[in-house]
Chains A and B, each alone.
Chain A
Amino acid sequence: MSLKTLIKSGFMLEIYFYKNNRAAFLAMFLWPYLMLALILGMGYFFGSPGAFKQNVQMDVDPVIYYVASTLVAMSALDVMWGVGGNIMWYRWSGTLPYILLSPNRTSTTLIFSYIPRYLLGAFIQLAEFMPLIIIIEGFSSGLMKIGVLVLAITVGMIPLLGFSALFASFLITIEEETNVLSWLNPLILLFSGAFYPAYLLPYWARFISQILPTTYTVELARVAAIIGAPKLAPITFFIGILLGIALVYNFLAYLFMGYGEKKAMERGAI
């Protein structure tokens, strides 16, 4: 079975889902701006843009910074839920055995059938923010920043897929239906510097931050938020790191998903 068909199956699933759920479709459009409004509202309530720049010690526009962070954070959350959390969802809905009966490895099915959903969601959100970025930054600088964000959400997705599949292998193995991701996701975002710059975190937390793929997507988002045209050197640096981490996490996911599946099949958890 070709990966193309698997990707297409994921795409069709999303199209069908949104076609039959107009409220969910509407929510998908509203959610990024609601999130942004909440964060910015809180920010302006507690301090000025100047105070913000002083705190993060960078010459950034707070609106662009939060647009970029919101986009990256939501995309990262989406991958974590989409790949890791889907195991739980499939188990609850009773579809897990039929997904596993697909003639692919579970990790392959989970990852490749999810990619269209991620791309649809992330790019719709980015498209929503485009007018705002262009209004604030101007056309050419705005387009360049959008380009960096496209890189952040596409290249950033690759290690996250493997990273999330690792959690999927854990979730498929554990006996209880504990939703580990619900408390793990905020922690990962915190350690990645999505809410608070990672370099201001304690030393031990910075170590965790270094091994998380989300850290580097957040850094890319920050590069996009710096006032003026984005520089090429930090972009290639972070993309290089992301691709390297992608190799490690996807390889680990490939190994552990098989192990998780075997353990679940031994225990009768499917």
Chain B
Amino acid sequence: MDKAIIVKNLTKSYVTYLRKGLFKREKKIVHALKGISFDVKKGEVFGLLGPNGAGKTTTVKILSTLLLPDGGEARVLGYDVVKEAAKVRKVIGVSLSVEKGFFWKLTGRENLIYFGMLYGLNGEYLKNRVEELLELVGLKQLEVGDKLYEEYSLGMKARLSLARALLIDPQLVILDEPTLGLDPPSARMLREMLVKIAHKEGKTVLITTHNMFEAEIVCDRVAIINEGEIIALDTVEGLKQRVADNMSLEIFAFLPAEVPQETLLLKLRETTGHPSSIFAENGGYRVKVVVPPGNVDEITAKALRVLHEHKCSVRRVEIREPTLEDVFIKLTGKTGF
């Protein structure tokens, strides 16, 4: 069996109550998952990408056996998450939050030892495993293994959370927003670690994120989830192909005062054969030309020639490839998360 996770028509609703004064409250049903289906192959990094409230955490909690679905089926490494929850717990490592979930008055090392014992590890194996993990996540190098958890920075907490998820050497690692709130260097290090865990140690990794950049660089495949539904599922490249016509050429230049923008736009349109736009930016102008992926070089040359003829001073040229953000905007009609 090459599937680590199989999810079929999973549904989940929550009952919430809106306070209406001191004694009254109004019942409201939130449909968090509306029958999602997807599967995750063994050894891949799979991303659930979506805005807040899309249903990512609900999915993760169901797969972690911490939440019961209303309907549908979910299997983790062959085990049903409802009927065989105990077996599922023995093969997964979970991190649900990077900023809490540990005992504040214990050190990082002590926390790992405690949770290791709770998960059935013991003796020399546990001791060695904790040291190995402290090194893997970089806490040993930072010499903070014996520092109290309450004194940890958010980046250190995130590393410790990842270390705990790896304690039992799980086949599947489930991480909910693993880089949320982290500074860029910590986030980058964590992303590199995730890729390493998946590709070098052969583990399957399921992450949720609302960070499209993260999904692009970490995930082998991505499911875009919005309002409880999966609206797209593919490799990052496959998803980007869906908006390949969104590739754009962007030229940052200073335009002479005597050249009207309308004239320049008209000339660019005639020469390149594609619509253009101009935006004021940092005292100069950004000229944007939408181009099909096939003939970027030719169009770039033509656009630069037009700008040169109109005595524009070109400072920077960028070919902007479509991103997951473009995919999300196209699929949902929303302008971002």
**Chain A residues in contact with chain B, CB under 8 A?**
1-2, 5-6, 8-9, 12-13, 16-17, 20-21, 93-95, 97-103, 109, 113, 262, 265-268, 270
Contacts and interface: CB of A to CB of B under 8 A. Distances in A.
Given A16-B114, A97-B94, A97-B96, A266 B68 contact: yes
A159 B86 CA distance: 27
Contacts of B117: 5-6, 8-9, 12
Contacts of A95: 100-103
A11 B15 CA distance: 39
Contacts of A2: 120
Interface of B: 12, 14-15, 58, 61, 64-68, 86, 89-90, 94, 96-97, 100-107, 110, 113-115, 117-122, 148, 164
26 contacts: A5-B122, A6-B118, A9-B117, A12-B117, A20-B148, A97-B64, A97-B94, A97-B96, A98-B115, A98-B164, A99-B118, A100-B66, A101-B94, A102-B118, A102-B120, A103-B86, A103-B89, A103-B90, A103-B119, A103-B120, A109-B118, A265-B68, A266-B67, A268-B14, A270-B66, A270-B67
A265 B67 contact: yes
A1 B120 contact: yes
A58 B317 CA distance: 97
Contacts of B113: 12
Nearest to B86: A103
Contacts of B104: 93
A223 to B, nearest CB: 38
Contacts of A109: 118
A211 B4 CA distance: 50
A8 B121 CA distance: 11
Nearest to B90: A103
Contact of B103 (A13, A101, A103): A13
Contacts of B14: 267-268
Contact of A94 (B68, B97, B148, B164): B97
B106 A9 contact: no
Task: List 10 tightest A-B contacts by C-beta distance, closest first.
Answer: A94-B100, A1-B120, A9-B117, A94-B101, A16-B110, A102-B118, A265-B68, A266-B68, A16-B106, A20-B105
B98 to A, nearest CB: 10
Nearest to B95: A98
B67 A268 contact: yes
A21 to B, nearest CB: 6
A265 B118 CA distance: 20
B118 A93 contact: no
Contacts of A102: 89, 118-120
Nearest to A99: B118
A99 B101 CA distance: 9
A83 to B, nearest CB: 16
Contacts of B94: 97-98, 101
A267 B14 CA distance: 7
Given A16-B114, A102-B89, A268-B67, A21 B105 contact: yes
A77 B187 CA distance: 44
A95 to B, nearest CB: 6
A20 B107 contact: yes
Given A1-B120, A12-B113, A265-B66, A93 B103 contact: yes
Contacts of B115: 98
B259 to A, nearest CB: 60
Contacts of B65: 101
B122 A13 contact: no
Nearest to A4: B122
A113 B120 CA distance: 12
A212 B89 CA distance: 36
Contacts of A262: 68
B61 A268 contact: yes
A97 B121 CA distance: 18
A103 B120 CA distance: 8
Nearest to A17: B105
Nearest to A95: B101
Contacts of A103: 86, 89-90, 119-120
A101 B105 contact: no
Contacts of B68: 262, 265-266
Nearest to B119: A102
B33 to A, nearest CB: 11
A5 B105 contact: no
A21 B105 CA distance: 7
Contacts of B66: 97, 100-101, 265, 270
A100 B113 CA distance: 17
Contacts of A101: 64-66, 89, 94, 119
A20 B96 contact: no
A267 B67 CA distance: 8
Given A12-B117, A93-B103, A103-B89, 15 more contacts: A2-B120, A5-B122, A8-B122, A16-B114, A17-B105, A17-B106, A93-B104, A94-B96, A97-B101, A101-B66, A103-B120, A265-B67, A267-B15, A268-B14, A270-B61
